[in-house]
Chain A
Amino acid sequence: MSDVTQASVVPRRQQSAAAGPAVPARDHGRILRQLLWGVILVLCVAPFMLVFVISLGHKIEGASWELGFSFENYRRVFVGANWPEEITYLYLQKLYYSLYYALIAAVLAVVTAFPFTYLLTGLSRRAQAAWLVFLLSSLSLSEVFIVMGWDVLLSNRSGLPMVFKETGLTQWLKDVGWFGQLREWGLANPRNIKFKTSVLATVLTMAYLVWPYAVILLYPPLSRLDRTLTEAARTMGAGPWTVMRSVVLPSLRLPIFGSVLLLFVFLLGVYVAVTVFAEPAKQTMAVSVYEAVRGNTLNAPFGAAQAVVLLITAALFLVAGQWLSRRGS
């Protein structure tokens, strides 16, 4: 069918090009196309190129920088500024935390979003639209607001820690003896439990940040899932959990994996949540990029080098994911 229509479209185009006064029109088309390419190259591609070019330059005292050609900044990212006399992995550690937070948060978001989306696609079209409005609204909500909300919820003076204390839950935890364990995990100070600053709060906020994205990524494959398959399995006597495990999950292996990957890459660049919730010693590379470009240290080429490392890490994961999914299918 589609071949037939393709075939009928092509001659029509040739016809109109040959018959009509097509020369000025084609000229317009070419100018428009060149303009479009120009705009997209300048706006969408040039910024990335500039980051790369400037990462090869070096800083001049007084918060400025000049172009150059050295890999000094990259050396500093990987083995420290004083290599080979001494090796420090300070910035690699920041990269490690970027990956660590992003991975846990992405997995957490997809694992919780999957059953939700499965149930969502079983609802009526109207209900689905209502849910999507709700989710899109929370999705488009700025990182700044979400962090603000969780900050109020988790802060020691007003949020959940107060609830724990007022309801006597803190006392109960102390009585049972789990309080010491929480302190070891960094989730309590001597008097009460605390979430700021902790890995838990960071990861939780990041997972929340991408949760609507996870639903929206899983929505198309789940809503196109052939329900006759699951119904067939049900009529053959399989329980709902068996159906989930043996029919739904295997057929959606790729979308699930792909969603985790995309969310992971997105989370590599999270800035506000990490600055607010992570301990100073466990900050990520995105924060460090900001510090170098706009913040205290003001070393734009070094910041650019870190941005390139972050970008290449993200790109590597995307490419590896593509490769794996092609092999899987």
Chain B
Amino acid sequence: MLLRLFSRVFLGLCAIMVALPIVVVSGAALNSGRTMFFPPREPTLARFGEFFITEPVWTQALANSIVIAFCSAFLAVLLAWPVAFGLWANNSRASRLLAGLGSMPFALPPIVFGVGLGFLWAFAGGLGTLWAAILSHAALFLALPLVTISIGLQSIDRAHLDAAATMGATRAVTFRTVVLPQTIPYTISGFFFALVLSFNEFIVTFFVSASAYSTVTLQIFNSLRNGYTPTMAVAAITFIVVSVVVFSAVARWGDLPRLMGAEPSKT
């Protein structure tokens, strides 16, 4: 009994610790003045209006963030699918190498990849353009849909494939009727993982944007140096809400514990 109480308390403490800075940032958004205080003084919602509607600096940054996140996540999934499929269907040395190379940017310190991308786009003439940022994020987060789609493909029962084959289905038909439907939840999860991480990414965007445009994280970093404004905190709240909604969706329609590597559920 004592042990159970202890574990409850410990879990609770962890939750508080994880939530603490988030709560502080969110609370600071309600300040009416120009400086951050916690607890907020004269709480108001005016900062939300500034962030979403009136201040062009923030609205433009938000628009850029959204465009980069959606396009790069889509592109990452598009690239990851054939790589993951090749890995699953052939498992040859070449397909393993390709998957390894594709996961490299995510595994190594992002600042090095950021510096390299800065050089690459300087050569290719894409420095400071949105499409360069989109391609960069697609490369950086390719590993995420690659992993989720691979998990999805592995969870397909080989017996279904054999059944389809014995009933005379061609590979294309099998792909459409067996493989694709069973992996769609995992594909969507991969898309959302890439989306949310791209939305929050800072260092690579920083090197690739070359100060030609800004995203929300870049804008926050700039304001971090010039002193805080509560408007930044609104951005933080927005991001947290987006993350919670997205991951709740993944948990609701996909098997989140399984995606994170737990045993398949027995239900």
Contact = CB atoms under 8 A, between A and B. Distances in A.
Interface of A: 2, 5, 8-9, 12-13, 16, 20, 32-33, 36-37, 39-51, 54, 112, 115-116, 119-122, 125, 128-130, 132-138, 140-153, 158-159, 208, 211-212, 216, 219-220, 223-224, 240, 265-266, 268-269, 271-272, 276, 286, 289-290, 293-294, 300, 303-304, 307-308, 310-311, 314-315, 318
Contacts of A286: 109, 111
B265 A125 contact: yes
A219 B262 contact: yes
The dominant DSSP class at the B interface is helix
Interface of B: 3, 7, 10-11, 14-15, 17-22, 24-25, 28, 36-38, 79, 82-83, 86, 98, 101-102, 104-105, 107-113, 115-120, 123, 135-136, 138-139, 142, 158-159, 161-162, 165, 170-171, 196-197, 199-203, 206-207, 217, 220-221, 224, 228, 232-233, 236, 239-240, 243-244, 247-248, 250-251, 256-257, 260-263, 265
A133 B260 CA distance: 11
B38 A152 contact: yes
Contact of A268 (B109, B250, B260): B109
Contact of A135 (B18, B110, B123): B18
Most buried by A among B37, B203, B233, B265: B203
B89 to A, nearest CB: 9
Given A5-B162, A148-B236, 14 more contacts: A9-B158, A36-B79, A48-B113, A51-B116, A137-B247, A142-B217, A142-B239, A147-B224, A149-B22, A158-B37, A219-B261, A265-B108, A289-B111, A310-B111
Nearest to B251: A129
Nearest to B197: A140
Contacts of A134: 15, 18, 244
A290 B111 contact: yes
Contacts of B82: 32-33, 36
A224 B263 CA distance: 6
B202 A272 contact: yes
A145 B236 contact: yes
Contacts of A50: 116, 119-120, 123
Most buried by B among A134, A145, A271, A294: A145
